[in-house]
A = this chain, B = another copy of it.
């Protein structure tokens, strides 16, 4: 489940000021910004049992979730493409802080190979197999231009990487035994821009629509946004 990290973060925040040793699904749902039933389903599906009438043991939940998420060890990441975004990611503390230290930087440009970025020296993409082998099980970040994203993904897979996070604005295909996730910053902005335009330019259309249907123009317009249900937390992460 993709919500596990959110639960974990919520629990960690809670654990900083150790109030109670136990937490109800309702409280955790509130913290994570989701439905209480969903929390219970997720946790039961995960196998972690709570105690009826009491709740879940915070300590045990934390342990169980960390184990499930594989956070008992560090997962080094290798960043491919040390351009603008790649350097930014390399300097981003959020990764190492959460157990994903940047273990290597790789680029195809010979001019960049050998350059220092922070503590690391940029290596050649040709050495990817040995880099991956050196780091052990690795997550690969693609921070290259879109045109070479697929090629880089293939290289990563060939080098033994089984988890890829793609920042390049391109459709990338990988074998079924490789996990792939994407982060596209511009797409996020375009989606926001889409809803923003809906709210502004679409006013006439909305009035028209609300007159026809069960008419509550403004709230319909707002709930079309990505902010989730009104008055309900709409965001989370770890």
**B-binding residues in A (CB < 8 A):** 2, 4-6, 8-10, 31-33, 68-71, 75, 77, 84-85, 87-89, 91-95, 97-98, 100, 137, 139, 162-166, 168-197, 199-201, 218-219, 221-223, 225-238
On chain B, the residues within 8 Å of A192 by CB distance are: 139, 163-165, 179, 181
Q: How far is the CA of A179 from the CA of B180 in the complex (A)?
A: 27
Q: How far is the CA of A97 from the CA of B84 in the complex (A)?
A: 13
Instruction: Give the contacting residue for A237; candidates B75, B184, B201; CB below 8 A.
Output: B184
On chain B, the residues within 8 Å of A228 by CB distance are: 180
Say whether chain A's binding surface is mostly helix, strand, loop, or mixed. mixed
Q: How far is the CA of A236 from the CA of B166 in the complex (A)?
A: 9
Q: How far is the CA of A235 from the CA of B183 in the complex (A)?
A: 9
Nearest CB of chain B from residue A222's CB, rounded to whole Å: 4
Q: How far is the CA of A235 from the CA of B71 in the complex (A)?
A: 25
